[in-house]
Amino acid sequence: MLFTWGSNHSGELGHDKADKEKICSLPQRVKGKLLQEKVVQVSLGEMHAGAIAGGSRCLFTWGSNGGGCLGPQGGEGGEEKGEEGRESQSLLPGRVSFRKEGSGTELLEGLISLSCGFRNTMVIVGGEGEGAGGSLWVWGDNSHGKLGLGSSEGMVKEPKRVEGIDGPVKQVCAGSIDVRFFLQVMTTAVTTGGSLFSWGYGGYGNLGHGSRRSSSVPVKVEFPQPGVKVVSASCTVGQITPDTSEKKVANLCGKEGPHGLCVDTTGAFWSWGTCHKGLLGNVESKILCAEFDELQPYRIGSPCRDVKGGGPSGYMEGLEGDTALASSIHSALLTKCGRVFCMGCASTGRMGVEKFDSGLQGGRSRMKCYISEPTEIGTLREAGLAVIPGGLAAAKRHMAAIVVQGANQTAVGGSEIPKSPLPSSDVPT
Q: Write out pLDDT tens, residues 88-145.
A: 889 999 999 988 766 667 788 999 989 998 888 999 998 655 566 888 898 998 765 6
Q: Is the pLDDT of residue 383 over 80?
A: yes
Taking the whole predicted model, whether its pTM rises above 0.75 is answered as no
Higher pLDDT, 296 or 214: 296
Q: Is the dihedral of CA 19, 22, 23, 29 positive or negative?
A: negative
In terms of residue numbers, what domain contains 142? 1-81+90-162+385-429
Q: Is the pLDDT of residue 202 over 70?
A: yes
Asked if residue 288 lies in contact with residue 316, where contact means CB atoms within 8 angstroms, the answer is: no
Same domain? For 173 and 29 the reply is: no
Asked if residue 123 lies in contact with residue 160, where contact means CB atoms within 8 angstroms, the answer is: no
Q: Is the pLDDT of residue 206 over 70?
A: yes
Same domain? For 280 and 252 the reply is: yes
Same domain? For 107 and 187 the reply is: no
Asked if residue 279 lies in contact with residue 296, where contact means CB atoms within 8 angstroms, the answer is: no
- Tell me what the mean pLDDT of segment 402-410 comes to: 65
Same domain? For 406 and 322 the reply is: no
Instruction: Tell me the pLDDT band of 42, cut-offs 50, 70 and 90.
Output: very high
Same domain? For 110 and 49 the reply is: yes
d(CA 222, CA 228): 9
Same domain? For 134 and 7 the reply is: yes
Same domain? For 30 and 99 the reply is: yes
Residue 244, pLDDT score: 44
Q: Is the pLDDT of residue 20 over 80?
A: no
Residue 423, pLDDT score: 42
Tell me the CATH number at 211: 2.130.10.30
Same domain? For 139 and 177 the reply is: no
Q: Which of 359, 376, 393 represents a domain boundary (last residue)?
A: 376
DSSP letters of 57-73? TEEEEEEE-GGGTT-TT
Higher pLDDT, 201 or 322: 322
The residue type of 72 is P
Same domain? For 140 and 197 the reply is: no
Q: Is the pLDDT of residue 250 over 60?
A: no
Same domain? For 219 and 311 the reply is: yes
Residue 178, pLDDT score: 46
Q: Is 241 helix (H, G, I), strand (E, B) or coil?
A: strand
* Residue 55: other Cβ atoms inside 10 A: 8
How are beta strands 294-299 and 259-264 bridged, if at all? unpaired
136-183 tens-digit pLDDT: 898 998 765 667 776 666 788 899 987 766 667 888 887 765 433 334
Same domain? For 257 and 346 the reply is: yes
Structural domain count, the chain: 2
Q: Across-strand partners of 2?
A: 402
Q: Which of 376, 393, 410 represents a domain boundary (last residue)?
A: 376
DSSP state of 409: G
d(CA 29, CA 426): 5
Instruction: Tell me the pLDDT band of 410, cut-offs 50, 70 and 90.
Output: very low
Q: Is the pLDDT of residue 419 over 70?
A: no
Q: Which of 358, 376, 394 represents a domain boundary (last residue)?
A: 376
Same domain? For 288 and 145 the reply is: no
- Tell me what the mean pLDDT of segment 405-422 comes to: 41
